[in-house]
Chains A and B, each alone.
Chain A
């Protein structure tokens, strides 16, 4: 069966639908998932198709959305809980970190938490400081939890299906400005991508760009521009912040000897810091330049489009960083 180009949103929808059809224990709970059809329209039509038992609207109560999903998962269901945006996941942080990620360890393996918490990330939409973040790296700090950051429709589908079938808790972070992105996706109902595997999105020999989601979009644009000047960038899409798969990064770095990490999160204690530290550990003898980081500026994001865009990463900033390490 030929792969069909579909949007990131359709990829998420079909992944959810297929997994719900496959396994009675999979159900959806969260804010506006039912009658509304999902605030990003991912679960449109699900209420009619699966009914109220399996498509459960909740009050705007993030602590209990996450916490009850943990309990239901411990008890043997396979919840897909939705928090409208990752900004609201801050409210649910204790349930996610202290409970979802730790109950298995704390009780010596007596419980498993086959849970997926779906949420959206990203700034750049003029939503002001509290609604404009890409803070998923915070959640990647904690063992016991997986953090998925798909950057294409293909990845979104294969990763979401794999997350739902996995027995570990996954924070599944979708990018709110990438929902219309299209890529060819297999129709196979058992199309799964492995958990914790990064992916080379562009081959190149001059510089290694490590990135995910919005950073991937901008890096692909930057790479085309750089190619015009004869600089070939290799782009590695992390796809997962935990488990973090840096093997392809080390391999690439040993070839290019240069690295730029691109992300939409804040510039301190971010993904770039981790990647740079690990490159120092693993590839010290191959370094020809310091690892550069491109991230958002170290400020809360403002409303005004003009200055909000100024604070975010861009293809131009990536090009500039690449030229600094070449």
Chain B
């Protein structure tokens, strides 16, 4: 038994309206993906050393989905996600120093050390946070999109979620409301094959989660648009899919997209992973998103290896600096403990 990722685009998907990314952009995506990978690997080490507490859900294996999806957004767009949020936060531009400081529970963290790993937000960047309750952020996404529509602003909300969240009431209610009110949301299921330890087909009546879109769409074409089921290990494919979806959500209706990806680490730290074999995991390491993207870049741009090596080295250095910053930052104070319960 093993998992295969059968991605396909649905017929009738329009033409990409955003400009094709240039070399510089692609190198920046590569930089982001490597930065996320190194960040996560370091977090795992620090967790083992007892320097990071609480839950820790790593994004290793899913970098192409986060980076490709966020790259398709503009500065006026909005991002919200679940608790596996480090990759999304870094892709949206949160400083790794402030992200790492949050892991350490320091007052210089993005959430002042009060949120932790699952709750990274930066209002200025329109990164509305990671959320720890499965599906709990999906209605919030609908509400943020309602504000865009109400104030007649330009922008969409990209709401990322795991496959596990598609089986909770929040998912149904939020997607339905977005269709009824025609809200500008791109709903993106990051299908990493397991909701904690339960495989998708053991938890969902629809094995292809993208089919859920049909439940909120009508024969006359109104309601939710069923977007593609995209190869989530291919950053270019994700970028293209979300670019199209964003365009559609701005002009027409909410869209559901499914990204087929794979979580290379456990659900969270300390997961014994009895629900899958080592061989299965190994098979995805070989075709992991960073390996694949690097090969693509090397094939496409002659002599780019040196640049890529430099990017790799710089990512490591950025993480070292982030850890130094976090270690040297102050703990929150009693004043921090009691502040922000209410608006005074």
Using a CB–CB cutoff of 8 Å, the interface residues on chain A facing chain B are 27, 53, 56, 58-59, 61, 63-64, 66-77, 79, 94-95, 98-99, 103-112, 143-144, 166-168
Contacts and interface: CB of A to CB of B under 8 A. Distances in A.
Nearest to A66: B139
Interface string B139-164: 11111111110110000000000000
Contact of B111 (A61, A79, A106, A144): A106
Interface string B170-204: 10011011001100000000000000000000000
A246 B129 CA distance: 37
A110 B122 contact: yes
Nearest to A195: B342
B111 A64 contact: no
A79 B136 CA distance: 18
B326 to A, nearest CB: 16
A84 to B, nearest CB: 16
B123 interface: yes
Contacts of A167: 343
A195 B83 CA distance: 35
Closest 4 CB pairs of A and B: A71-B143, A67-B139, A108-B112, A71-B140
A76 B147 contact: yes
Contact of B139 (A75, A95, A106): A95
Nearest to A146: B342
Given A53-B150, A69-B143, 8 more contacts: A59-B176, A63-B169, A64-B138, A70-B143, A72-B143, A77-B150, A108-B111, A111-B128
B229 interface: no
Contacts of A79: 143
Contacts of B112: 108-109
Contacts of B119: 106-107
A107 B112 CA distance: 7
Interface string B112-128: 11110001011100001
A53 B183 CA distance: 13
B341 A67 contact: no
B168 to A, nearest CB: 9
B177 A94 contact: no
Contacts of A94: 133, 136
A37 B131 CA distance: 35
A66 B177 CA distance: 12
Nearest to A110: B123
Given A104-B343, A105-B341, A110 B136 contact: no
B6 interface: no
Contact of A75 (B113, B129, B131, B143): B143
Given A59-B173, A63-B170, A112-B343, A68 B180 contact: no
Contact of A64 (B144, B150, B170, B339): B170
A168 B115 CA distance: 19
B146 A77 contact: yes
B110 to A, nearest CB: 8
B20 interface: no
Contacts of A110: 111, 121-123
A71 B185 CA distance: 13
B339 A109 contact: yes
Given A105-B341, A108-B112, A63 B139 contact: yes
B306 interface: no
7 contacts: A64-B142, A68-B177, A74-B128, A79-B143, A99-B131, A166-B343, A168-B342
Given A59-B177, A67-B139, A98-B133, A27 B150 contact: yes
B278 interface: no
B143 A67 contact: yes
B341 to A, nearest CB: 5
Given A106-B114, A108-B111, A110-B121, A72 B146 contact: yes
Nearest to A114: B343
A108 B146 CA distance: 24
Contacts of B121: 107, 110-111
Which of A27, A59, A63, A99 neighbours the largest number of chain B CB atoms within 10 Å of its CB? A63
Given A72-B146, A168-B343, A64 B115 contact: no
Nearest to B124: A110
B342 A144 contact: yes
Contact of A74 (B114, B140, B148, B341): B140
A64 B343 CA distance: 24
Given A59-B180, A108-B112, A111-B123, A99 B341 contact: no
B302 interface: no
A58 B183 CA distance: 13
Nearest to A58: B177
